[in-house]
């Protein structure tokens, strides 16, 4: 027991709480949560909302890189027309993003136009 107590207090001045030495570790875990875990959760939530809002006629890009137009739904599957006479069926969650007709990503918010200099 004396060995363990000595190992815990090694390097700490007498009279300080040994839990104080764990504060940097707790702070690092908190920082890791806010830098890594929380943004990933936000992105997953945004992707889920986008997938739930898919509708016929949307032009999409899959995680595999296929561009296509949604022509139908079958449960958790989406039918895409990638070319005339070519349809593929993919899992709904594998849609990466919705794009407009010219290949530009459709924005969630309307863009503000900047005033023209005169």
Which pLDDT value is given to residue 50?
Answer: 93
The more confident residue out of 113 and 77 is: 77
Burial group, residue 60, by CB count within 10 angstroms (0-12, 13-18, 19+) = buried
For 61-103, the pLDDT digits (tens) are: 999 999 999 999 998 999 999 999 999 999 999 999 999 755 4
Q: Residues 32-50: pLDDT tens digits?
A: 999 999 999 999 999 999 9
Q: Whole-model pTM?
A: 0.63
pLDDT for res 41: 94
Q: How far apart are CA 88 and CA 99, in angstroms?
A: 18
Provide the pLDDT confidence category of residue 16 given band limits of 50, 70 and 90: confident
- Predicted pLDDT of residue 87: 95
């Amino acid at each position: 027991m004396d060995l363990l107590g000595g190992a815990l207090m090694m390097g700490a001045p007498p009279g300080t709480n040994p839990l104080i030495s764990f504060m940097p570790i707790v702070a690092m875990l908190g920082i890791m949560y806010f830098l890594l875990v929380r943004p990933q959760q936000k992105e997953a939530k945004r992707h889920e909302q986008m997938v739930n809002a898919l509708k016929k006629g949307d032009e999409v890009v899959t995680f595999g890189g296929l561009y296509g137009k949604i022509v139908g739904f079958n449960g958790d599957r989406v039918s895409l027309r990638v070319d005339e006479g070519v349809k593929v069926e993919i899992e709904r969650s594998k849609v990466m993003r919705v794009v407009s007709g010219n290949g530009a990503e459709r924005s969630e918010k309307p863009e503000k136009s900047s005033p023209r200099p005169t």
